[in-house]
A and B are shown apart, each in its own frame.
Chain A
Amino acid sequence: MLGQPLYPDPLTVAEEWHADGRGVAIATVIETWGSAPRPGGSHLVIDSQGNFHGSVSGGCVEGAVIVEAAEVITSGTARILEFGVADETAWRVGLSCGGRIRIYVERLG
């Protein structure tokens, strides 16, 4: 991605958290349709206590991603999440602006 970096950068934070002995998950926007708020490649990092840094949707679905991330940290199995306005979950954690995104959540290490 070109453009202004997010300080402190989420991936820098992820490395620090891991060095701190915390379990860490990295969520990444892998595909977007329509007016998704954050482009492909954007990261949200989450630790085992539910602390998070960065953004995959500018605040729309972060809550749901954090819940899934906790399970990914425990299981170690990566998963793909999809959010949009067309499905049930959208009513709870939908993208207010109407786009659709897919997010890859993986454990660090």
Chain B
Amino acid sequence: MLLEHLHRLNTARDARLATVTVTELGTGTARLFLEGEAYDPSIAPAIELALCTGKSGIIEIDGQAAFINVYLPPPRIVVIGAVHISQALAGMAQIAGFDLTIIDPRSAFATPERFGETKLLGEWPEDALQRAPLDAYTALVAVTHDPKIDDFPLMKALEAGCFYVGALGSRKTHAGRVERLTKLGVDETGIARIHAPIGLDIRASSPAEIAVAILADIIQTLHARCDGWPERR
């Protein structure tokens, strides 16, 4: 591997940018692509497939075998609201391999006593998301029930193309939310992307059960991103 490629790859990964390398196995010649760049048309479909599925493997370029390696940022969850559900979700998400951060400006909720080692930002989402912006490899979970806190990050999540956007609340609560977000300029496609009521329908009732439903919903959505893509080879 070229040193320059390794350096670009590591820099991109630090910035949570998806990256693909294509190495011709016969010659050792390698190319590196960042997500969103213009790809060589002859291999663009293979790159796009790899970016979506996250699967690395062998492809053929002009009859020669090449290895395509895809580096996706680790999926993470940003939770708006340091509530009981979030306490349960924090532990489960870690077990399932997600990096999780909780944001809540209400100092009574966002206390280390309630959350232990979990990353906790006791500030408004407007400020916290400025420093660590949402991206396509992030799930946004809004569970405060308070429009003043939840609405802004929900809009930001839709703008950033978060792979999952979920909001807690009954259908009635959500109807009010849809009205507010529509007034703020969110279109129908955006509204339809919000998982509300949040979580898979597993008849969850306790906070811990709701956390299971949310995490399962996130995992399903993450892996369903590429449904409909043809398998490689």
A binds B: yes
Question: Is the interface on chain B under 10, 10 to 19, 20 to 34, or 35 or more residues?
Answer: 20 to 34
Q: Residue A3 at the B interface, CB < 8 A?
A: yes
Scan A1-45; emit 1 where CB is below 8 A from any B CB, else 0: 111110001011011001000000010101100000001110000
Query: CA–CA, A92 to B25, complex, Å?
Result: 26
Residues of A within 8 A of B10 (CB): 11-12, 15
A18 touches B3 (CB 8 A): yes
Given contacts A2-B74, A4-B97, A109-B2, A28 and B69 within 8 Å (CB-CB): yes
Q: Residue A86 at the B interface, CB < 8 A?
A: no
Q: Residue B138 at the A interface, CB < 8 A?
A: no
Residues of B within 8 A of A41 (CB): 55-56, 69-71
Residues of B within 8 A of A109 (CB): 1-3
Given contacts A3-B97, A104-B23, A30 and B6 within 8 Å (CB-CB): no
Q: CB within 8 Å of A: which of B1-49? A: 1-3, 6-7, 9-10, 13, 23, 25, 28
Q: Residue B152 at the A interface, CB < 8 A?
A: no
Query: CA–CA, A30 to B7, complex, Å?
Result: 21
Q: Residue A106 at the B interface, CB < 8 A?
A: yes
B3 touches A104 (CB 8 A): no
Given contacts A106-B28, A108-B1, A109-B3, A1 and B71 within 8 Å (CB-CB): yes
Query: How close is A46's CB to chain B, nearest CB, in angstroms?
Result: 13
In-complex Cβ contact of B55 among A4, A5, A40 (8 A): A40
Question: Is the interface on chain A under 10, 10 to 19, 20 to 34, or 35 or more residues?
Answer: 20 to 34
A104 touches B70 (CB 8 A): no
Q: Residue B72 at the A interface, CB < 8 A?
A: yes
Q: CB within 8 Å of A: which of B118-177? A: none
Q: Residue B191 at the A interface, CB < 8 A?
A: no
Given contacts A2-B222, A3-B97, A4-B97, A31 and B74 within 8 Å (CB-CB): no
Query: CA–CA, A15 to B56, complex, Å?
Result: 22
Query: How close is A102's CB to chain B, nearest CB, in angstroms?
Result: 9
Q: Residue A80 at the B interface, CB < 8 A?
A: yes
Residues of A within 8 A of B1 (CB): 26, 106-109
Query: CA–CA, A108 to B28, complex, Å?
Result: 12
Given contacts A11-B10, A18-B3, A41-B70, A1 and B58 within 8 Å (CB-CB): no
Q: Residue B190 at the A interface, CB < 8 A?
A: no
In-complex Cβ contact of B56 among A1, A5, A9 (8 A): A1
- 17 new A-B contacts, CB < 8 A, other than A2-B54, A41-B70, A109-B2, are A1-B56, A1-B70, A1-B71, A2-B74, A3-B74, A4-B74, A15-B3, A15-B6, A15-B10, A18-B3, A30-B57, A30-B67, A31-B57, A40-B69, A41-B56, A41-B71, A104-B25
